[in-house]
A and B are shown apart, each in its own frame.
Chain A
Amino acid sequence: DMKVTQMPRYLIKRMGENVLLECGQDMSHETMYWYRQDPGLGLQLIYISYDVDSNSEGDIPKGYRVSRKKREHFSLILDSAKTNQTSVYFCASSPGQNSDYTFGSGTRLLVI
């Protein structure tokens, strides 16, 4: 079954804590993405990963970093979370250029 799996689905953290969001895919897709989704703002690209250890900033990378050590796994890290990072985070993967994305079901993060 071709899918993108995100863990955890829901997460509550205190301001200043570190946050790790994990994403896996079973399609051997080269390219993976992290987006956040906020009401009225749609989907905003945080980071792109073209393959293992080949990552590039998206449109809103500040306050985030990523790690991709295996093709099937892509992590988003928030060092010292802030309340304005409360959002729904989506991971996606695609096989290459001009290709459609497969999205995960999202992680709903609340920073208090």
Chain B
Amino acid sequence: GDSVTQTEGQVALSEEDFLTIHCNYSASGYPALFWYVQYPGEGPQFLFRASRDKEKGSSRGFEATYDKGTTSFHLRKASVQESDSAVYYCALSDTNAYKVIFGKGTHLHVLP
């Protein structure tokens, strides 16, 4: 079945560092790909999506490019801030299309 793999469970950075969180997927066809962010005590929030190969999604300084060749949708940000500390989830819409499959999440800690 369809799946999403986030290789980093935790990432620790200092402010102004460059961020990469890796996301790889396994699915047939062209699933829509998503990033969500969850701050402590809140539910996940939609960050952005991409629906076709080479499409770039972006929001709040974060970006990711849909790469069907490497089945990846890595999250990047040029300069992180302490306020970016949160859990980030990569997700895809499965063949059912109503159901979104989430990765296990990556906890980002940004130190001041």
Least CB distance from A58 to B in Å reads 8
Do residues B89 and A102 form an inter-chain contact, with CB atoms below 8 A? no
Least CB distance from A107 to B in Å reads 10
Q: Please, how many angstroms separate the alpha-carbon atoms of A48 and B51 in the complex?
A: 22
Give 9 closest A-B pairs by Cβ, nearest first.
A103-B43, A97-B97, A100-B46, A42-B104, A98-B32, A43-B102, A98-B93, A103-B44, A42-B105
State which size class the interface on A falls in: 20 to 34
Do residues B89 and A48 form an inter-chain contact, with CB atoms below 8 A? no
Q: Does residue A92 face the partner (Cβ distance < 8 Å to B)? A: yes
* Residues from chain B with Cβ under 8 Å of A96 in the complex: 98
Do residues A102 and B97 form an inter-chain contact, with CB atoms below 8 A? no
Least CB distance from A90 to B in Å reads 5
